[in-house]
């Protein structure tokens, strides 16, 4: 999981209460907006604001990493207070008339700006579109509702009590629809939110995308579920944490990750965060009785980190550093985790390394057996634990539900029933409790509707990128030889270096020479799992 | 070592370059200073500024902890930039006419303020005394010189090249003298700086103090050096780091440190930092071939943390949280490390615990042998590695040198010779290189003159506090029984709860019922080491 997106989004969150109070901080020179403003001066002002914003985001990011990895338990109250104070300050730094005037002026002169600055202005405008158009009282109220909903969701999940959460979810849905109308009255609300998370994507595109997913994968998964599953029992032997830490080091080395730029921490849920291309942090979680959990977490998070480390130097402290979108970020982490990390070639490469650390546990396990075990495909209940094949069906279910919620076609009261129905229909599983069902993800409780599709798009991007890469590189051979850095070089040149300069759809065109096309993903999965489960006939 | 003092002091440091540039940040309402300002409004304004300052200091403190414990190596550049930006902002938050007017107004109404607020105003005024009276150009220049001097010192130390550092030191000495004159023209410059670090202490007091130290300890150390040293070879056996980590946990448990409020990290040099009484961080360093290094670091840093955890709740986010002074902070860490941790009773208590973790390494070591080994007193070259008995002589040497530097009685060119002469005279050791001599400490390179004495005062406070405590508690018995929390309770009630509400001299009076008196320290050392080395005759 890539955390920065969430963090930035929620930054203005908890603290908006005081928006109408007297502002504080250094004095501010009146800004001359409009025609007589020198363009050069305006750009300098933009860069200066960005520099200061970067410092705040950096500090808050480190605090977040610290609270997850190092802080003692009781640090949480002080942490929340300080995050609230700093978030309030950054909120005021961007949400003010002076900044609006500056951005409007720069937008009017977009043609005279260099590409990076132009995109910075565009992204800043995008980030403020909602906040500029929303009555402040309503926004403050929303923050309150959202914060309450998050707290209630945590409790509801623990207690498996959807009814407790439902009224809060209902309010969030109403706010979400209304806010879309404030920001973009001309748009369908779900289209507005989809575009917020994955620019350029609408229901038109996603309906077709998910229709293909459903059409191709549901029957495939059905056929596979009738086949014999591989023996993966060796994964669940005893693997001491200390030794797994050694494996993490080896994996990062194999990925060519420069440890001078990337640290590894330990948290309940693995994630990646970073403050600039020379300071990335990935985390993992070690389970003594599940070898591959941490292993693939490290590869996945290492993929996120590799993306950001590959940004061009010009983006060092720019708000355009990082990834093009959530979907594009997931495309890279999943590329390393699944397309590389669960490939036959990589399994052959990594097994001897793992065996050196765990010779006893892996006695009698050969490359083929390892490859089959780490690719076991089986319908399940929880998205974050789903395998490569079934993953997108979890997302599809959420997409269909969100769409109905955003159009008033599904009452929040009926959500669990609809959820369970879809899990049965698409994945063939019975959902035993809402805890493992519609309460499993935090996204809705945080007010994020339209975020889920980017998870699936990430996988689909990856498959298309693989095909483009294969035209220039013998990927399988490189991986088998242990030359993953050659793969990374290609990705850096075609994707990573751009950061957020290019939008996701544009990036796919640059990288693949054509528009986004889900067929690559469908055929990738069909071929891989067809072979694995002997469905070639 | 307690790091916050340094951090706060250096905060306005690197970034002052832009002080004359246009300020940024939120707008600021004009402040009505003077008679017609409502006192209530002024207090509210003070508290609000403090709240915001606390958030910045918290964030910068976490960033500092992170860079020392977790960040990858290349994070340093981004770290420096962000610290510079945030320090600049905090500098402007406090160094501005509006804040001066506010503090002046509150000072005039000091009699109407509650004790905490009055002391907050006093401390804020003290912190600004220099900055208000210094020509800004000169301060900017000083920051540049200081930052350069620090960098050169690092290099000079590595290369054992004092000549390279000398011109920088010379400039710093000149600035330090001149700045004292700006801040307090009526005072002797060294007195000004001594008071900055340990309020209430002057050369008058310290001359007498160090005269007694010299008079009593130099001959004592001389006599001891003729005695046979205990066998401490068992300390340098092989003690695996993983097992030493277990010992750290045990030690913190024995000290009664609430782990929900105090985390432990690993760094090159141990230190303590904290952000509020519920979020302390101590660090240690494990050497595989030196059992007691980390052991006493944990106890020492745990003492610093215990002090701050014992602050009363009213100080939670106040600038008065923490310790009364650097000396008082050291008094607590050294109390736990030496007075408790190196007592015969504690050695009896802790040895079985250590033996459980390291049975082989400690075979044949009994309590008495352990006690003698951890109290081995031997003149040495490096202050931070000095034993309890010789420690204050290291400080004495620095005191004498600083005094001469501040009065133009010692040219920086002649410093190494003077240093070496004093080490020979007081400690009887020949200094083989400046690296292990006058280049060993960072303080002067950071522009801190007058800081060293507080290290020694800390030990002296501790001995006096012990005597006061013994009037009410059977300290030895409590420690032997493992009831260190009872000792902590007493310290909390008499010292820790006050934070910085009381000044060090005042605190000694409250706690001990009399003024600071070095004789307790002299007799503590004389008795303890007299017994240990059989000098009772």
For the ranges A73-82, A249-258, A399-408, B461-470, which has the lowest average pLDDT?
Answer: A73-82
For residues A379 and A225, give the distance between their C-alpha atoms in angstroms, rounded to a whole number. Answer: 8
B276 contacts A78? CB cut-off 8 A: yes
Q: Are B241 and B289 in contact (CB under 8 A)?
A: no
Q: What is the mean pLDDT of residues A109-135?
A: 94
B274 three-state secondary structure: strand
Torsion sign, CA atoms B421, B427, B433, B437: negative
For residues B378 and B376, give the distance between their C-alpha atoms in angstroms, rounded to a whole number. Answer: 6
Q: What is the dihedral of CA A397, A402, A408, A410, to 10 degrees?
A: 30
Q: Read off the tokens for B223.
A: 């006599």
For residue B87, what is the nearest residue in chain A, using CA coordinates? A55
| CB within 8 Å of chain A, chain B residues 400-459 | none
Q: Are A456 and A448 in contact (CB under 8 A)?
A: no
Please indicate if any CB of chain A lies within 8 Å of the CB of B28. Answer: yes
For residues B532 and B535, give the distance between their C-alpha atoms in angstroms, rounded to a whole number. Answer: 8
Residue among A351, A346, A350 nearest A366 (CA): A351
Q: Read off the tokens for A155.
A: 């409790």
Tens-place pLDDT, residues A455-494: 999 999 999 999 999 999 999 999 999 999 999 999 999 9
B78 contacts A317? CB cut-off 8 A: yes
B28 vs A24, A58, A281: nearest CB: A24
Give strand ranges (E) for B12-148: none
For residues A505 and A327, give the distance between their C-alpha atoms in angstroms, rounded to a whole number. Answer: 10
Say what the ipTM of the complex is.
Answer: 0.89
Catalytic residue among A301, A308, A388, A402: A301
Residue with tokens 């002091």: B9
Please indicate if any CB of chain B lies within 8 Å of the CB of A81. Answer: yes
Q: Read off the tokens for B11.
A: 């905060």
Q: What number of C-beta contacts closer than 8 Å exist between A and B? A: 172
B74 contacts A260? CB cut-off 8 A: yes
Torsion sign, CA atoms B5, B9, B13, B19: positive
Please indicate if any CB of chain A lies within 8 Å of the CB of B59. Answer: yes
Quote the pLDDT of residue B355.
98
Quote the pLDDT of residue A1.
55
Residue among A93, A101, A20, A26 nearest B27 (CA): A26
A526 vs chain B: nearest CA distance in angstroms? 41
B49 contacts A262? CB cut-off 8 A: no
Which stretches of chain B score pLDDT less than 70? 1-37, 536-537
**Residue A481 CB partners (closer than 8 Å, separation 6+):** none
For residues A330 and A5, give the distance between their C-alpha atoms in angstroms, rounded to a whole number. Answer: 12
Residue among A209, A204, A179, A208 nearest A193 (CA): A179
B24 contacts A75? CB cut-off 8 A: no
For residues A159 and A294, give the distance between their C-alpha atoms in angstroms, rounded to a whole number. Answer: 28
A25 vs B22, B28, B276: nearest CB: B28
Residue among B79, B98, B129 nearest B32 (CA): B98
Quote the pLDDT of residue B35.
52
Please indicate if any CB of chain A lies within 8 Å of the CB of B70. Answer: yes
A62 contacts B63? CB cut-off 8 A: yes
Q: Read off the tokens for B14.
A: 């690197």
Q: Where are the domains of chain A?
A: 8-185, 203-532
How would you classify the pairing of strands A262-266 and B279-284?
Answer: unpaired
**Residue B431 CB partners (closer than 8 Å, separation 6+):** B381, B419, B420, B423, B424, B437
A23 contacts B71? CB cut-off 8 A: no
Residues of chain B in contact with residue A278, where contact means CB-CB under 8 angstroms, are 72, 74-75, 77-78
How far are the Cα atoms of A103, A350, B100, B173, B176 from residue B186, in angstroms, in the given order? 53, 73, 21, 19, 15
User: Angle at CA B8, nearest 5°, toward B5 and B9?
Assistant: 80
For residues B156 and B149, give the distance between their C-alpha atoms in angstroms, rounded to a whole number. Answer: 10
Residue among A435, A439, A438, A447 nearest A149 (CA): A447
Q: Are B276 and B55 in contact (CB under 8 A)?
A: no
Give strand ranges (E) for A404-499: none
Residues of chain A in contact with residue B24, where contact means CB-CB under 8 angstroms, are 25-26, 28, 48-49, 52
| Length of chain A as a residue count | 537
Tens-place pLDDT, residues A132-163: 998 888 988 998 999 999 999 999 999 999 99
For the ranges A52-66, A420-434, B2-16, B88-102, which has the lowest average pLDDT?
Answer: B2-16
How far are the Cα atoms of B178, B298, B455, B495, B501 from residue B491, in angstroms, in the given order? 40, 19, 19, 5, 15
B71 three-state secondary structure: coil
How would you classify the pairing of strands B279-284 and B262-266?
Answer: parallel
For residues A277 and B78, give the distance between their C-alpha atoms in angstroms, rounded to a whole number. Answer: 9
Please indicate if any CB of chain B lies within 8 Å of the CB of A21. Answer: no
For residues A453 and A395, give the distance between their C-alpha atoms in angstroms, rounded to a whole number. Answer: 6
**CATH number of the domain located at residue range(s) B203-532 in this protein:** 1.10.1370.30
Residue A301 is among the residues annotated as catalytic for this protein: yes
Tens-place pLDDT, residues A510-526: 999 999 999 999 999 99
- pTM for this predicted structure: 0.90
The DSSP line for A513-535 is SS---THHHHHHHHHHHHHHTT-
Q: Read off the tokens for B537.
A: 């005759």
Residues of chain A in contact with residue B46, where contact means CB-CB under 8 angstroms, are none
**Residue A226 CB partners (closer than 8 Å, separation 6+):** none
Q: Read off the tokens for A492.
A: 């850096």
Q: Are B170 and B421 in contact (CB under 8 A)?
A: no
Residues of chain A in contact with residue B96, where contact means CB-CB under 8 angstroms, are 26
The residues facing B279 across adjacent strands are B276
For residues A301 and A3, give the distance between their C-alpha atoms in angstroms, rounded to a whole number. Answer: 11
Q: What is the dihedral of CA A466, A468, A473, A477, to 10 degrees?
A: 30
For residues B383 and B143, give the distance between their C-alpha atoms in angstroms, rounded to a whole number. Answer: 27
Name the residues of B annotated as catalytic: 301
Residue with tokens 């620095």: B398
A409 vs chain B: nearest CA distance in angstroms? 44
State chain A's mean pLDDT as an integer.
92
Q: Residue A218's CB: how many other CB atoms inside 10 A? A: 17
For residues B348 and B367, give the distance between their C-alpha atoms in angstroms, rounded to a whole number. Answer: 5
B93 contacts A26? CB cut-off 8 A: yes
B24 vs A26, A72, A85: nearest CB: A26
B279 vs A55, A62, A78: nearest CB: A78
Q: Which long-range contacts (CB under 8 A, 24 or more apart) does A109-117 make?
A: A109/A39, A109/A42, A112/A39, A113/A43, A115/A501, A116/A314, A116/A315, A116/A318, A116/A320, A116/A501, A117/A43, A117/A46
Task: Count the helices and strands in chain B (H runs, E runs).
Answer: 21, 3
Around B135, how many Cα atoms within 13 Å sit in the side-chain half-sphere? Answer: 5
For residues B348 and B479, give the distance between their C-alpha atoms in angstroms, rounded to a whole number. Answer: 9
| Length of chain B as a residue count | 537
How would you classify the pairing of strands B279-284 and B272-276?
Answer: antiparallel
| CB within 8 Å of chain B, chain A residues 299-328 | 317
For residues A162 and A413, give the distance between their C-alpha atoms in angstroms, rounded to a whole number. Answer: 9
B62 contacts A26? CB cut-off 8 A: no
């Amino acid at each position: 999981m890539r955390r920065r997106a969430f963090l930035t989004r929620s930054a203005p969150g908890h603290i908006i209460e005081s928006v109408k109070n007297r502002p504080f901080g250094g004095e501010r020179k009146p800004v001359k907006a409009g025609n007589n403003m020198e363009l050069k001066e305006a750009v300098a002002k933009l860069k200066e604001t960005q520099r200061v914003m970067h410092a705040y985001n950096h500090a808050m990011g480190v605090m977040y990493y610290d609270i997850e990895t190092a802080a003692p338990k009781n640090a949480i109250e002080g942490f929340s207070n300080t995050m609230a104070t700093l978030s309030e300050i950054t909120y005021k730094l961007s949400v003010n008339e002076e900044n609006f005037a500056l951005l409007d002026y720069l937008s009017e002169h977009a043609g005279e700006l260099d590409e990076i600055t132009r995109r910075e202005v565009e992204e800043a405008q995008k980030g403020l579109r909602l906040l500029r158009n929303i009555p402040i009282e309503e926004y403050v109220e929303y923050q309150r509702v959202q914060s309450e909903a998050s707290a209630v969701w945590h409790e509801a999940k623990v207690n498996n009590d959807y009814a407790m959460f439902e009224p809060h979810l209902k309010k969030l849905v109403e706010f979400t629809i209304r806010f879309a109308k404030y920001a973009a009255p001309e748009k369908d609300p779900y289209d507005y939110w989809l575009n917020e998370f994955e620019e350029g994507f609408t229901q038109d595109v996603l309906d077709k995308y998910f229709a293909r997913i459903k059409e191709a994968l549901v029957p495939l998964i059905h056929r596979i579920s009738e086949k014999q599953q591989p023996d993966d029992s060796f994964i669940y032997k005893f693997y001491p944490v200390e030794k797994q830490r050694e494996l993490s080091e080896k994996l990062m080395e194999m990925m060519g990750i420069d440890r001078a730029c990337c640290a590894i921490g330990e948290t309940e849920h693995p994630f990646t965060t970073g403050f600039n291309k020379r300071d990335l942090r990935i985390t993992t979680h070690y389970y003594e009785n599940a070898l591959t959990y941490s292993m693939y977490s490290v590869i996945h998070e290492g993929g996120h980190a590799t993306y950001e480390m590959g940004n061009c130097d010009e983006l060092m402290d720019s708000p355009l550093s990082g990834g093009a979108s959530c979907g594009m970020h997931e495309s890279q982490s999943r590329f390393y985790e699944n397309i590389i990390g669960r490939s036959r070639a990589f399994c052959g490469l990594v097994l001897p390394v793992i065996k050196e650390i765990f010779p006893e546990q892996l006695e009698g396990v050969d490359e083929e057996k390892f490859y089959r075990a780490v690719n076991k495909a089986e319908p399940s209940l929880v998205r974050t634990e789903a395998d490569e094949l079934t993953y997108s069906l979890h997302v599809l279910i959420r997409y269909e539900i969100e769409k109905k919620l955003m159009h008033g076609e599904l009452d929040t009261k009926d959500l669990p029933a609809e959820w369970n129905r879809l899990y049965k229909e698409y994945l063939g599983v019975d959902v035993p409790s809402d805890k493992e069902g519609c309460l499993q993800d935090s996204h809705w409780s945080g007010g994020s509707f339209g975020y889920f599709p980017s998870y699936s798009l990430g996988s689909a991007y990856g498959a298309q990128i693989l095909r483009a890469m294969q035209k220039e590189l013998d990927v399988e051979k490189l991986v088998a030889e242990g030359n993953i850095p050659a793969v990374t070089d290609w990705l850096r040149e075609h994707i990573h270096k751009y950061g957020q300069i290019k939008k996701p759809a544009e990036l796919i065109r640059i990288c693949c020479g054509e528009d986004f096309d889900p067929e690559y993903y469908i055929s990738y999965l069909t071929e891989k799992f067809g072979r694995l489960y002997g469905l070639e006939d």
